[in-house]
Amino acid sequence: MTKLTAEDLNQADKERFVDVLGGVYEESPWVAERTWSKRPFSSIDDLQQSMADTVRNASREEQLALLRAHPDLGERTEMTDESQEEQASAGLDELHPDRYETFQRLNETYRKKFGFPFIMAVRDESVDAIQGAMEDRIDHSRSREFQTALDEVNVIAEFRLEELTVPREDTREQRTR
């Protein structure tokens, strides 16, 4: 797939914009739909910040639905290609049975307490670091963890946006060639 620039996305009609960016936030194309009207974006960073602002300005119910759209970490069920790739980069697709059971127990405890799955930007993280974060964050208050989970969703979205777009520096290099 050809990587897009901010200029490409500024020129896209709403349907194309949502088609390209609808998966940046897990199973939540409404973020791209609402962000489209904020064009033009001066850069990919500006676009990412606008998308994060869209999430920040959403209702609590919409934010909760966004959090609940994420799969459990280490889960062996169907998930989006992006989630599958991210979890595989951290080795969560190859957990030893004992570690898998530990993750399932932590996921269940976390979900019972907070009402949504544990969310962490796991790209290139170690299984130990992820497990440690799960164990630490279970002790958070509900309000603190809700905000932490939203912050992690924005980091995941930033990684996904990077996969789809050309960074500003690359765009300048291409123009000078």
Any idea which residues carry the catalytic annotation?
70
Residues in Cβ contact with 64 at an 8 Å cutoff, skipping those fewer than 6 apart: 115, 116, 146
> In whole angstroms, what is the distance from residue 131 CA to residue 137 CA?
10
Helix (H) or strand (E) holding 53: helix 44-56
On whether the CB atoms of residues 88 and 125 are closer than 8 A, the answer is no
Beta bridge partners of 9: none
